[in-house]
Amino acid sequence: MIALELILNAIATGVALGSIYALMAMGLAITFGILHIPNVAHPAMVVAGAYAVAISNQYGLDPILAGVIWSVPFYVLGRLFYAFYAGSFEARGGGNTLQSLTLFFGASLIIEVALAVAFGTDMRSVNVGYVGHSLQLGLIVLPYRFLVPALVTPAVMLALWLYLVRTPVGLAIRAVAHDERAVSISGLDPFAVKRHAFGIAMALAVIAGAALVITGPIDPFGGRVYIGRVFAIVVLAGMGAIPGVLLAGILIGVAESLVMSFLSPSWATGVAFAILLATLGLKPTGLFGAAR
Amino acid sequence: MLPFTLIAAAIALGGLMLPQLIGNPYYFYAGYGVLQYVVIATGWNILGGGAGYTNFGASAFFGGGAYMAALLFKAFDAPLFVQILGAAAAGMLLGVITGYLTLRIQGVYFAIATVALVVMLDTVVQNTEYLGGASGLAVLAAPAPAWFGGQTQYVFCIMLGLACGAVVLARWVEVSWVGRGLRAIKASEPAAEACGVPTLKLKLFACALSGGVMAAAGAPYPTYSAYLDPVSAFNLTIGLNALAMPLIGGTRSWIGPVIGAVLLASVQQIATVTISSEFNILVVGVVLIAFVVAAPEGLLGLVHRSKRKLQPEFGKIDAQTRS
């Protein structure tokens, strides 16, 4: 009976955690999944967003609302950052992987250290009424600090998916991933489309940051442990498959949560990697990715 | 190759005289830091510069080597040479495993795996009581041979020997068939494969060498600082510097990482005394981006470029004087 309770709770926590991971991976699903830009700075951008939300919360703003508001300036920052990236690499025929990875790695360091210098290395958290309370469903006990941000993911994912599938701009973003030259022949500027998509990815990072900071306190270097997870989610979902991101996130969240409760927390960081490697080895197109 | 090896050996042996000539141990303490980065950057460049695969997890290899050495010392009271060999073997194994799991697919995944490797090794060490856990482990090595006059001078000479060995190894890789194969892989992997280059084997070989050298750089660390804890062993700065030094110096040739390491490590030795270490990371991050964007071939590339620009000018002057 105790074992059943433990399993059920591990799964419930895993689903909630996985949903939050999926939200963090959503922006990367655009940059890496659709645009094929290896943005290793994405988790650091999420943490930067979390800081913006935590600071706004000190003035009494609801974290999720703060995330939505902050997503506008971050969208602009994302556009500027892409313009810098494209200007330095794509102009001279595209940089190699080493160079673009180094650029993003350097950017993530700068973000982390800038946060540490500006706000100190103390943990930051948000103050909301429901933190500390839990939802009790039979044997399952789920804290609201996991449940509330977990519920944001399906809403964001639905909005993003409808945007990509139903709007002309969304069509252009999917098209630029498929064939850049054909897009420019159709009279669209591929650079502008990609810049817009990168901006959206950065805006999503803030919303993910809001979710992250509700689950628990964060520090400037907290993004690093998520690099493996978010890339694993994007690859497992299948490159470019937005609806798959949630399922992939939940799969990884549940697997991690089970390992954490039944083996040891020290192995939990390896779970995402094991899944990433297994996916690449067994089914490189991911769960929902089209064969390319 | 032979004259080069002899010169390197002469430098390493000449270093043995330094403790007799210089009295102040601080120079050895600071010099050790610079030489340690020469070894790490050279090791990183065997894979990173040679085959174009990015390793963000140099600190995993460095820290792994340091902990392997500490483990050998604690369990068997092993002397420093055995510790270095053991650490190098562990680093090679770590490199081969990481490489075997990820290199067959795409460079991006190798890079991400190396980030996770640091996190994983760190958690494992933090949860291992025998290795001191999160609070660390005191390593009280036997006193150094009397010739050196102190432990710091002794590890400095060991590190000088390691640096010379690493540079000789890197140069051998560069001029031998291994380096030619790796350069072919960097230019175009399918083309290299089609020409009969055993791409996977070569990449794994480079991974093993690179991992072994970086782990060997970590092996004398417990003896050097007499104390080992996860924060200093798996420090981000090591991973960052391992990447920044070859990129700043130039990744094409063995001398690039050496130049980058000597420059950056010396500046950092001065900077940590004068400014904060966080600011230090920030500066390195900015310099790194500046080099990747403006001078992707590093300082060596800049020298080459300016030479090429100058040559036609000389030609013109020559032609004018003749007419």
Query: CA-to-CA distance for B224 and B208, rounded, in angstroms?
Result: 25
For residue B319 the two structure tokens come to 């032609």
pLDDT averaged over every residue in chain A: 85
pLDDT for position B316: 47
pLDDT for position A202: 94
B127 CB within 8 Å of a chain A CB: yes
> In 3D, which of B96, B92, B56 has the Cα closest to residue B288?
B56
Query: CA-to-CA distance for A65 and A62, rounded, in angstroms?
Result: 5
Residues B258 and B104 sit within 8 Å (Cβ to Cβ): no
Using N-to-C axis directions, what is the helix angle for A2-28 and A190-215, rounded to 10°?
Answer: 150
Output A178 or A76, whichever has higher pLDDT. Answer: A76
At A69, the pLDDT band (50, 70, 90 cuts) reads very high
For residue B255 the two structure tokens come to 């001398």
At B162, the pLDDT band (50, 70, 90 cuts) reads very high
For residue A63 the two structure tokens come to 């974290």
At B318, the pLDDT band (50, 70, 90 cuts) reads very low
pTM value is 0.80
Residues A109 and B287 sit within 8 Å (Cβ to Cβ): no
At B106, the pLDDT band (50, 70, 90 cuts) reads low
Give A233-249 pLDDT, tens digit per residue.
988 888 778 888 999 99
pLDDT for position A52: 92
A88 CB within 8 Å of a chain B CB: yes
| Chain centroid offset of residue A292 CA | 24
What is the residue extent of each domain of chain A? 2-282
B89: distance to nearest CA of chain A, Å?
23
- Percent of the residues in chain B that have a pLDDT greater than 90, as a whole number: 27
At A292, the pLDDT band (50, 70, 90 cuts) reads very low
pLDDT for position B214: 95
B252: distance to nearest CA of chain A, Å?
13
| Chain centroid offset of residue B20 CA | 28
At A122, the pLDDT band (50, 70, 90 cuts) reads confident
* A140-144, A259-263, A286-290: least confidently modelled range: A286-290
The tokens 């490697």 sit on which residue? A277
Residues B282 and A117 sit within 8 Å (Cβ to Cβ): yes
Q: Is the pLDDT of residue B98 over 90?
A: no
CB pair distance less than 8 Å for A101 and B101? no
Query: CA-to-CA distance for B36 and B33, rounded, in angstroms?
Result: 5
* A1-10, A14-23, A26-35: least confidently modelled range: A1-10
pLDDT averaged over every residue in chain B: 84
B113 CB within 8 Å of a chain A CB: yes
- Please tell me which residue of chain B has the smallest CA distance to A98: B54
pLDDT for position B311: 58
Output A144 or B64, whichever has higher pLDDT. Answer: B64
Query: CA-to-CA distance for A138 and B72, rounded, in angstroms?
Result: 52
For residue A223 the two structure tokens come to 């993004």
- Specify the DSSP class assigned to residue A267: G
pLDDT for position A121: 75
What integer is the mean pLDDT of A262-269? 75
Give B36-78 pLDDT, tens digit per residue.
999 999 999 999 888 888 888 899 999 999 999 999 998 888 8
ipTM of the complex: 0.75
Q: Is the pLDDT of residue B313 over 90?
A: no
Query: CA-to-CA distance for B48 and B32, rounded, in angstroms?
Result: 24
Q: Is the pLDDT of residue A291 over 70?
A: no
Query: CA-to-CA distance for B256 and B159, rounded, in angstroms?
Result: 19
pLDDT for position B277: 67
Q: Which helix (H) or strand (E) is B228 found in, with range? A: strand B227-228
CB pair distance less than 8 Å for B247 and A109? no
Give A253-264 pLDDT, tens digit per residue.
999 998 888 877
Specify the CATH class of B2-322 in words.
mainly alpha
For residue B101 the two structure tokens come to 């799991």
For residue B97 the two structure tokens come to 């495993």
Query: CA-to-CA distance for A211 and A155, rounded, in angstroms?
Result: 13
Q: Is the pLDDT of residue A131 over 80?
A: no
Highest mean pLDDT range out of A49-53, A125-129, A281-285, B107-111?
A49-53
B129: distance to nearest CA of chain A, Å?
13
Q: How far is CA A3 from CA A143, A251, A262, B26, B189, in A?
A: 20, 21, 10, 59, 51
Q: What are the two backbone dihedrals, phi and then psi, of residue A137, each rounded to the nearest 5 degrees?
A: -125, 95
At B221, the pLDDT band (50, 70, 90 cuts) reads very high
Count contacts between A and B (CB, < 8 Å): 110
Q: Which CATH architecture has domain A2-282?
A: Orthogonal Bundle (1.10)
B124 CB within 8 Å of a chain A CB: yes
What is the residue extent of each domain of chain B? 2-322
CB pair distance less than 8 Å for B105 and A284? yes
pLDDT for position B317: 47
At B114, the pLDDT band (50, 70, 90 cuts) reads confident
Give A73-117 pLDDT, tens digit per residue.
999 999 999 998 888 776 555 556 777 888 888 888 889 888 888
Q: Give chain B positions within 8 Å (CB) of A224.
A: 115, 119
Query: CA-to-CA distance for A67 and A44, rounded, in angstroms?
Result: 16
A residues 184-243 closer than 8 Å to B (CB): 221, 224-225, 227-228, 231, 235
pLDDT for position B216: 95
